Each structure stands twice: as C-alpha cells, then as structure tokens.
Amino acid sequence: MSDKALQPVEQKVVLFYDDELTAVRADGDVYVSIPQMCGSLGLDTQAQRRRMERHEIMADGIGVANLATPGGQQDTYVLRVDLIPLWLSGVRVSAVRDEIQPKLVRFQREAAKVLWQAFQDGRLTTAPDMDIESLLQQDSPAAQAYQMAMAVVRMARQQLLMEAKLDEHGAQLGEHAERLDQLEAAVGGEHVTEAQAAQISQAVKAVALAIGTKTKRNEFGAVYGELYRRFNVASYKAIPQRRFEAVMDFLNEWLQSHIGNEPF
C-alpha cells in the first residue's frame, strides 16, 4: 500500500446500531475502516475506494492504518470520519438493496458524529444515555431513597478505606475490597456505565476470538466465567465503576498473552 501511512495512537470498536466499526485516532483526527463500512452497506470496497481517491477532497482524507483485528495486525484503508457524509452523498439509496436502504440513511446522518464522540466522551454505542442527574432532581421517594443509599455507600467506603490504612501488614485489603463490592451491590451502588459495559463486552469478545483461533472452540463462556470468578460478580454490568480499569487491564493482559495486541 502506497497511500498515506497513519500511526494510530488509539483504537476503538464502535457499535453503530447493529454494526461494529473499527475507528482509530491518528494525527489529531478520527478515521474509520473503509472495508467495514462498505461491508455493512453491501458496497464493493475496491470500487468505493477508487471513487474516493478520484475525489480531490476525499482523497486527502484516506489513509492506511495498521489495525488490531481478531486475525492479528492488518494494514487497512481508513477514511477520516468528517468525510463520511460527503462519501455517502454520492451513493444513491436506490443503488443498495431494499433492506439496506434504511441503514444507508442512518450512516449518512449519524455515523460521523457517533464515531467522533467515541473518542471524546467514551460513547461506544448509539444507545441513548439515561439522564440520571435530571432524574435525581425529582422530589420522588425513589430519588430520595437512591440519594440516601449512596450516602450510606460513601460513608461505608470511607470507613473501610480507613480500616485498610490502619492495617499494618495489608493482609485484609482483599477482604475490604470484597466487602465494599458487596455493600455497593446491596444498596444500589454505581456499576459501570453503558459505555464502559460496551468496552468490557468488546474486550471479552476480542479475547474469546483470539483464544478460539487456537482452540477452534467457542471460548466466550470460558472468558466470561473467568471474568466473573476473578471479580466476584454475576454479570459484567454489575462490576463496580471503581474496578473498571482493573477489569480492562486484566482483559488487555490476557489478550496480549495470546496475540500481542494493542490495548483496547
């Protein structure tokens, strides 16, 4: 490939409705895989890339990035996300299959914004956010109960951390962490956000696929089982927010031990 080579500093898998799109941040901009977009829309990748290269503006936004994929590192053509509407404006809705036409319209309207936001505020999905802050402003019994429960959690957290600091040998740190997780779960403490849950799900998928290429088996259950056992939860959505980084570090190390991948 002789096109402009990009050096990605961050890669994310973004769930755009029912499609997974790989995006990277490089040279201060966000780019998305051209083959993935064309595959989602039923378009011929080679023909569309040639059309982009013939366009003076779009040609400047095409690059080649080395992406981490389930099959290993691969050089892939990518397009700067702000040029997606320009590219798709030249694709007639009637030119794609009937069942794909609504998807094409969604790509034209929303794809660039969603992919850009993935690198701004951590959103990795098109699912709408729940405005919890506005709900807590309501003077309802549920809102009051939630605020009281969170106050109890904060007090208990401070007490447990204080006890842990007083422990000279640190032998009880693991016990304190487990008690804190149980307390937060019991009173409705904050779990990972939807965006964080999506990141965990994508990380589990990458690990399971990497292991499966070697064992030739479906490894999703095994990966989830080890995650739940290690972090003492029944669902990845029940993981406390404060342990999100630890979960991602664990999955990244697991993935790298199999394929030497870059972090999620």
Name the pLDDT band for 1 (thresholds 50, 70, 90): very low
Q: Which residue has the higher pLDDT, 5 or 186?
A: 5
User: What are the tens digits of pLDDT across the range 205-224?
Assistant: 888 888 888 888 888 888 88
Reply yes or no on domain 5-117 having CATH 3.10.260: yes
- Residue among 148, 113, 97, 93 nearest 32 (CA): 113
Maximum CA extent, the chain:
72
Backbone angles phi, psi at 167, to 5 degrees: -75, 110
Residue 164 has a pLDDT of 63
Q: pLDDT band for position 85 (50/70/90)? A: confident
Res 184 pLDDT > 70: no
Question: Rounded to an integer, what distance in angstroms lies between the CA atom of residue 23 and that of residue 26?
Answer: 10
The predicted structure's pLDDT at residue 79? 93
Neighbours of 230 (CB within 10 A): 11
Least confident among 40-49, 165-174, 236-245: 165-174
Is pLDDT of 249 > 80? yes
Residue 123's pLDDT band (boundaries 50, 70, 90)? very low
For residues 163 and 94, give the distance between their C-alpha atoms in angstroms, rounded to a whole number.
67
Question: Quick one: pLDDT at residue 176?
Answer: 60
Kindly state the tokens that stand for 177.
């962490």
* Band (110; pLDDT cuts 50, 70, 90): confident
Helix (H) or strand (E) holding 19: strand 19-26
Q: What percent of the chain has pLDDT over 90?
A: 14
Single pTM value for the model: 0.45
Residue 203: what pLDDT? 86
Sheet with 5-6, side-by-side order of all strands: 5-6, 62-69, 72-80, 29-33, 19-26, 10-16
- Angle, helices 220-231 vs 194-215, to 10°: value is 130
